[in-house]
Chain A
Amino acid sequence: MSLSEFYSSLGESLDEVLGRLGMESRIVKYLGLFVSDPSFSELKEAFANNDVKTAFRAAHTLKGVAANLGLNTLSKSSSELTEDLRPLAFTENSKALLEKVELDYTVAVEGIKQLS
């Protein structure tokens, strides 16, 4: 899969990211780093440990990183989770919001792994 196909498959635009970050090779490099970034696993772990402070921080980080790489669907779902956790308390929505983030994250990571 090419980089442009990857972004299309997610419903995003490569051109928007290229406009900001300049070169395809660099975008590929950052996507690789994104896969090894621990924020998502930290988020899951924080939920498991009932650690809302870490969960908020991880969601916030994920939102920023995804936005920079043009992974806007993931950035949006992370943003909703971030706002939900901002008062530093889990709500009845938190679980569902996390599931949406997990879905978007998994789709993105699977796609990145298939990049040629």
Chain B
Amino acid sequence: MDEKRPLILIVDDVALNRTLLSDVLCDKYDTIEAKNGNEALLILREKTSEISLVLLDMVMPEKDGMEVLTIMNKNGWINEIPVIMISVETSHSLIEGAYSLGVTDFIGRPFDEMVLRNRVNNTIRLYAKQKHLSDLVLNQIYEKTRNNSMMVTMLSHIVEFRNGESGMHVLHINTITEMLLRELLRRSKKYLINSDDIGIISTASSMHDIGKITIPSAILNKPGKLTPEEFNIMKGHTINCAQMLNAVPFGKDEPLMKYAYDICRWHHERWDGNGYPDGLKGDEIPIAAQIVSIADVYDALTSERCYKKAFTHEKALEMIHNNECGVFNPLLLECLDAIADRLVSSLQTFDWGKQADKDFFYIADSMMKDRNAPVYNQAFRQYINESKKSHFFCSMLDDIIFEYTYSPSVMKISTTGAQKLGLPNTITEDENPNGVPQNENWKKIKNILLRHTTPKDIPYSVRQTLYIDGKSTPCKIKVLQIWNNIPNEAPVLASVYGHIDVLQQN
């Protein structure tokens, strides 16, 4: 099997010492050399996930071994990359210092090559095993989180479907709850919630209306005003849900269960005590329920329902402030005002894949913070950081950027780009053949994407007129193709990254 050879970084200021080490190791390993601490750190930064072991000298110019170790600690590299220190140093306290900075082993000079080789082999084997195990756990967590989010989303959609509403309501509540929580945490330490709770509470918010499965459809979907009796039955969805959750035989102490209970039972309570079912007042109402109640009201106002038209964002805020939907916690109203500007665009750009990844980011973040269970997988860490980086840069750009995958056919367009083109952010054709926009721009772009082509490694451009903000405008579409190269098969065009340059009209 053509397995990749582990890479060892040899750090020593003396050429003779580096040669000696790489001669010993070159039959089984690839080596890369640095002649001082600074060089070593540059290589470590570049190739963090590739290096399997560092052999480090202690006394060197331009950052000695101890300084290198200190920085490796600061960056968390020491948790992922084992270091064996090799030195003629005999001072007990210096060697102890090296161990306390995390070196796996210390080899004194003169060393026996056989011993060195075996220590290197063993260290690399142990770390590879550990890395493999942590990869396994991470993959499982990733799968589980995605499946859990999907499960919760599916269940809550079933409830929404019965209400005759699109699934968007639940997704909106998710987003609004999360934004309000973040703002609240920024403003106040009064409530006993921390950043780890944000993900759990916003997941629990999906379940706020599951009690409605106990309400007869005739009442649930009645177009006109409910009679007092009917309204009483409707109100029962809060208590009914609480009873259902109480009947679940396990998980009573799980945060998700507690938050779900609070939210289901009390998301119709109001700050002045005029809500239902228990007439709780002020902070007697758990904070998670207070937040979801605002999110619920905002989304109900701005959406069309069987008994009402949709209000605008501004009108909805005004009605909430005027207590037209009951009285809310003044601190939460401040939070709502603070996020108001971002709210509209966040709700428009929502997509489920992102939400599932977001849940995963929460877990990943709290795992990385956990000193007892550090994440060893540098590649994973880089993946998280890269994803965050590209999310951030895309949100900053005013340009039209898109990403198209061929199978399944999914087009994702940057937010402002989609607005300019008059297209949705995400276009999925395979699952949704009727939902494809009959839009000239989409037809033209797709023609270019589906053109027969041979593999190209560099971006190429196509000139094409498109409707930008409704006006026919000359544009330059620049695309980079990503081909899947499978051995012994013809290459397959997997995806395309694109940028649309709007040329000025003459």
Contact = CB atoms under 8 A, between A and B. Distances in A.
A and B physically associate: yes
Interface of A: 19-22, 26, 30, 33-34, 37, 39, 54, 56-57, 60-61, 63-65, 67-70, 75, 79
Interface stretch (B8-16, B159-167, B417-425, B436-444): B8-16
Given A20-B113, A33-B19, A65-B17, 13 more contacts: A19-B112, A20-B112, A21-B20, A26-B23, A33-B16, A37-B14, A37-B15, A56-B59, A61-B13, A64-B88, A68-B109, A68-B110, A79-B88
B87 interface: yes
Contact of B14 (A22, A61, A79): A61
B174 to A, nearest CB: 60
A26 B113 CA distance: 12
A30 B113 contact: no
A19 B20 CA distance: 15
B59 A60 contact: yes
Residue among B14, B89, B109, B113 with most chain A CB within 10 A = B14
B88 A63 contact: yes
A21 B14 contact: no
B460 interface: no
B61 interface: yes
A68 B19 CA distance: 12
A64 B17 contact: yes
A30 B88 contact: no
B352 interface: no
B111 interface: yes
A30 B110 contact: no
A67 B15 contact: no
A57 B61 contact: yes
B61 A39 contact: no
B59 A20 contact: no
Main SS at interface, chain A:
helix
Nearest to B86: A64
A64 B14 CA distance: 10
A37 B16 contact: yes
Contact of A21 (B59, B89, B113): B113
Contact of A65 (B16, B111, B113): B16
Contacts of A67: 88, 109-110
Given A57-B59, A57-B61, A67-B88, A22 B15 contact: no
A70 to B, nearest CB: 7
B20 A30 contact: yes
Interface of B: 13-17, 19-20, 23, 59-61, 87-89, 109-113
Contacts of A22: 113
6 contacts: A19-B112, A20-B113, A37-B16, A61-B14, A63-B88, A64-B87
Contacts of A20: 110-113
Contacts of A63: 88
A60 B61 CA distance: 12
A112 to B, nearest CB: 13
A67 B86 CA distance: 13
Contacts of A54: 61
A7 to B, nearest CB: 14
Given A22-B113, A37-B14, A67-B109, A61 B19 contact: no
Contacts of A70: 110
Contacts of B110: 20, 67-70
A67 B108 CA distance: 10
Q: Which 7 A-B pairs have the closest CB atoms?
A: A64-B88, A67-B110, A33-B16, A20-B112, A68-B110, A64-B109, A60-B59
Nearest to B60: A57
A71 to B, nearest CB: 10
A80 to B, nearest CB: 13
A37 B20 CA distance: 13
Contacts of A19: 112
A34 B16 contact: yes
A39 B16 CA distance: 11
A60 B88 CA distance: 8
B113 A61 contact: no
Contacts of A33: 15-16, 19
Given A22-B113, A57-B61, A65 B19 contact: no
Contacts of B15: 33, 37
Nearest to A16: B110
B59 to A, nearest CB: 5
B76 to A, nearest CB: 29
A90 B61 CA distance: 19
Nearest to B57: A64
A33 B110 CA distance: 17
B111 A30 contact: no
Nearest to A67: B110
A85 to B, nearest CB: 11
Contacts of B13: 61
Contact of B20 (A39, A68, A75, A79): A68
A64 B17 CA distance: 9
A61 B110 CA distance: 12
Nearest to B90: A79
Contacts of A75: 88
Nearest to B115: A20
Contacts of A30: 16, 19-20
A78 to B, nearest CB: 9
A109 to B, nearest CB: 14
A82 to B, nearest CB: 9
Nearest to B23: A26
A34 B19 CA distance: 11
